[in-house]
A and B are shown apart, each in its own frame.
Chain A
Amino acid sequence: MRDVAVIGVGMNRWGELWEKSHRRIWTEAALEAIADAGVDHVDALYVGCMSGGLFMGQEHLGALLADQLGMGPIPGTRVESACASGGLAFRQAYLAVASGEHDIVLASGLEKMTDVDGGAATYALSTAADQEYECYHGITFPGLYAMMARVHMHRYGTTREQLARVAVKNHANGLLNPLAQFQSRITVEDVVRSVLVADPLRVLDCSPITDGAAAVILAALPQKGSKREPVKVAASAAATDTIALHDREDIAWLRSTDVAAAKAYAQAGITPEDLSFCEVHDCFTIAEVMVIEALGLTGRGKGGEAAASGMTALGGRVPVNPSGGLKSKGHPVGATGIAQVREAVLQLRGESEGRQVEGARWGLTQNMGGTGASSVVHIFTRA
C-alpha cells in the first residue's frame, strides 16, 4: 500500500442554505478543494450522502456530481453509512489511492436537509436505526441516545451538568469557526433550561438540521510540486456493531469506535496520549462523552468529567472538537465526516486561525453512524 496525503480542502458556511441547491453547495466545496490542492484534475470522486432520496428526492449522486464538476467520465461513487457516510467515503478514497488504483481522488460529503419539514427529516434520519426492531416501535434517535445517556448516568454517576458542559465547550469553539452554523455562546443554564426532547436530552444537547458540503483531495506520497504542505493519512480503520441498540451487551459502550480506534492506533504506531486533538461525532452531548471513552482519552465511565474539567477544551490536555463539533458547526449528515478531516488538515497545517491547537502533531477523526453501528476512525500527521 502507498502512503497517502490530503493535499487540499474545501468547505462553505454551513446552515440553513435556503437560497442554494444541493449541487451548488457541493460544487462550491469541491472547487475550493481542487483550487486549494492546485491540481488540474481528479481521477475519481467519492461522495458521502446519507439520504439524497428522502432529503432531496435525488439519488445517483456519483454521476450527478461528476457531471456538475464538468469532470465526467471519471468514476463517481456514492458511499452510505448513515451519519458516518462522509468518513467512510474518505476511507474508500484513501483505499483507492493507497492501492494504486487512482493517483488523485476527491472525497466529499453532502446533505441538504432543510428542503423537507422537521417530521420528514426525523423520519429520514430514523432510517439509520433498525426499522423493524426499533423504529416500528416508535423510537427516534434522540430517544435511543437518551437511553444510552440514562444508563451512563445511572452506572457512572454522569450528571446533567456534565452533559451540558460538552455543548457549552463546542459552542465556544464554534464561535471561533467562521463556517459554523451556530456562532453563539451558550451557558450550562441555557442547556438545562432548553426544550426537553427525550429525557434527559434537551434541544441544546442535540446537533442541528443543517445544509452543507465539504471536500478534500487525496494524493499518493511523495507529492511533487504540491501547492500545500501535505498532511499524511497515518491510519484508516472502520468497524461495525449491532444495528439495534437492544442487541448490545452494553448500551453505554461504543464497541465499533473502540475496535476501529484500536486498529488505527496500531497502524499509526501511537497511543491516545500522543494525540494533539480529536474531531469526534458529538451528534448528542452523551455521544461525545462515550466516544472519548472508546477512543481511550479517558477511562471507561469517566467521559463525563472531561468537558467539565477543561481537559477537552481548547488549551486543555487534548482538545476535542476544536471546529465546534456537530453541535455548533452543524451536522449535514453525509458531509460531517469530511468536515472533520478538513479541520484535522487545517490544524496540522497550522491554519486553524483563532482555534489553532499549538504544536499540533497527531490528529484523530471519528465519525459514527446510528447509535454507533458503524464507526470510522482516521489519524493524521504532518507528512
Chain B
Amino acid sequence: MSIGIVGYGSYVPRHRIRLEEIAKVWGADAPAYKRGLGLREKSVPAPDQDTITMSVEAARRAIVRAGIDPVRIGAIYVGSESHPYAVKPSGTVVAEAIGATPEIHCADLEFACKAGSEGMYIAMALVKAGEMDYALGIGADTSQGAPGDALEYSASAGAAAFIFGRERLVAECEHTYAYMTDTPDFWRREYQFYPRHAGRFTGEPAYFKHVLACARGLMERSGTTPSDFRWCVFHQPNGKFPQRAASELGFTKDQHDQGLLSPTLGNTYSGSSPMGLSAVLDVAASGDRILMVSYGSGSGSDGFIWRVTDRITEVQHLAVQTREQLEGRRVYIDYGTYSKFRGKIRMGAE
C-alpha cells in the first residue's frame, strides 16, 4: 500500500525587507553579512498575518491540488514556534476556516524549526495506520529575531501544507527516518519575546551533526546514494548551511538549487524545508526522487524520501506556485515599517 502526498500548497507574505536595510540600522557591514549568511532579503508578515492565517492560505491551496472535500480530512497538525496563542490551539481555527470540522483530530506542535516536518510525519503515520483517509500537516512561522541579533537578518514568515492519503498520490513516501539528541543550541523560555541562541554552537555540533546524520541514516536504510535523487531539500536557517550540508553529502547544485529558498525568503523556521519541498514539487517530473531533511534546535531532524508520481503534472498549476510568490509581486519596506509590523515598537500600557 502506498502512502504519500495527495495535495500541497505554500504561502509567502508579500512584504520584504532587504538585508542592507537592517544592517544600516545596526551599523553592520552589509556586504560581509550577505556573504557570510548567504542572504539577500527576507519575507515579513503584515500586521494582520500570523501563523494561523498563513496556515489557512497554504492549506486551501493543498486542498485545491488534492481535489478532496475538506471534511474528509481526519487530522490536522500545525507545527510552529510562533503560535499566536500560548494557550488555545492554532489548529482549531485553521480546521474551521478550511471547513474540516468537527470530526477531526487536532494538535499544535512545537520543536523549534522541526515542528512542520513533525506534523507531516505524524499525519502520514495516521493515514498509514488506517485511522483515516486523509490527514493534514502544516509548517508555518512568523519567526522573531531580537533587534540587532544575527537572527534578525534571517527570521522570516511563510507556510507550507501537505495532505496525506493512500490514493491519487502526487508523491509517494518511500522512507522516513528521524535522528535526535539533547543538544541545546537555541531556545525561548516562557514569557520571553525573542529566542536566544548559542552562537557558533548552532553550527557544527547542532545543525550539521543532526542534518548530516539524518540524511546519511536515511540513505543507508533505504540503500540509496545522492545519485539516486533528482532533488534534495534541507532546513534553511540561512543560505550557507544547507548548501554546505548538500555539498558534504555529495549532492550537486543542480539537485539542490530549486528547493533552496532562503537567500530571498529568509528562515521560515517550521515552514523552511516544507516550503522547499513545495518549490521542488512545483517543477518535479514523474519518477523523480526527492530527499528532504528538516532540522529543529534542541535538536533533531526528520528525513523523508519522496517519489513523484505521474499525477504531479495535473496539480502543479492548480494553485499559485512557491517561487511565483517568492519572485512575484513584492513590497519592500523600511526598518521603521518592519518594526511596526513585527510589534517591535511597544506602545502605552499594552
Question: Chain A interface (Cβ within 8 Å of chain B)?
Answer: 16, 18-19, 114, 117-118, 193-196
Contacts and interface: CB of A to CB of B under 8 A. Distances in A.
A348 B33 CA distance: 44
Nearest to B201: A18
Given A18-B205, A19-B205, A196 B29 contact: yes
Given A18-B205, A19-B205, A195-B36, A114 B200 contact: yes
Nearest to A18: B205
B264 to A, nearest CB: 22
B29 A117 contact: no
Interface in B6-34: 29, 32-33
A117 B200 CA distance: 8
A348 B112 CA distance: 53
A21 B205 CA distance: 14
A117 B204 contact: no
A19 B29 CA distance: 32
Nearest to B197: A117
B29 A195 contact: yes
Contacts of A18: 201, 204-205
A117 B32 contact: no
20 contacts: A16-B200, A16-B201, A16-B204, A18-B201, A18-B204, A18-B205, A19-B205, A114-B200, A114-B201, A117-B198, A117-B199, A118-B199, A193-B32, A194-B32, A195-B29, A195-B32, A195-B33, A195-B36, A196-B29, A196-B32
Given A117-B199, A118-B199, A194-B32, 9 more contacts: A18-B201, A18-B204, A18-B205, A19-B205, A195-B29, A195-B32, A195-B33, A196-B29, A196-B32
The 4 A-B pairs of least Cβ separation, nearest first, read A195-B32, A18-B205, A117-B199, A195-B29
B323 to A, nearest CB: 31
Interface in B145-204: 198-201, 204
Interface residues of B, number: 10
A18 B29 CA distance: 28
Contacts of B33: 195
Contacts of A114: 200-201
Interface of B: 29, 32-33, 36, 198-201, 204-205
Contacts of A16: 200-201, 204
A342 B198 CA distance: 32
B129 to A, nearest CB: 39
A16 B33 CA distance: 22
Nearest to A117: B199
B198 to A, nearest CB: 7
A287 B147 CA distance: 34
Contacts of A196: 29, 32
A194 B33 CA distance: 10
Question: B198, B199, B205 — which one has the most chain A CB atoms within 10 A of its CB?
Answer: B199
A16 B200 CA distance: 9
Contacts of A19: 205
A245 to B, nearest CB: 24
A88 to B, nearest CB: 29
Nearest to A19: B205
Contacts of A117: 198-199
A194 B198 CA distance: 23
B106 to A, nearest CB: 38
Nearest to B31: A193
A282 to B, nearest CB: 22
Nearest to B198: A117
Contacts of B29: 195-196
Contacts of B200: 16, 114
B210 to A, nearest CB: 13
A18 B199 CA distance: 12
Nearest to A15: B204
A348 B200 CA distance: 37
Nearest to B32: A195
A117 B199 CA distance: 6
A368 to B, nearest CB: 26
Contacts of B204: 16, 18
A16 B203 CA distance: 11
A116 to B, nearest CB: 9
B197 to A, nearest CB: 8
A91 B33 CA distance: 43
Contacts of B199: 117-118
A16 B201 CA distance: 9
A114 B33 CA distance: 22
A207 to B, nearest CB: 15
A140 to B, nearest CB: 15
A114 B205 CA distance: 12
A195 B35 CA distance: 10
Nearest to B28: A195
A199 to B, nearest CB: 11
A381 B36 CA distance: 45
A19 B205 CA distance: 8
A114 B29 CA distance: 24
A143 B186 CA distance: 30
B26 to A, nearest CB: 13
Interface centre among A18, A19, A118, A195 (most CB of B within 10 A): A18
Contacts of B201: 16, 18, 114
A340 B32 CA distance: 33
Contacts of A118: 199
Contacts of B205: 18-19
A195 B29 CA distance: 6
A6 to B, nearest CB: 34
A114 B200 CA distance: 9
A196 B205 CA distance: 27
A118 B33 CA distance: 17
A117 B201 CA distance: 9
Contacts of A194: 32
A118 B32 CA distance: 18
A196 B29 CA distance: 7
A289 to B, nearest CB: 24
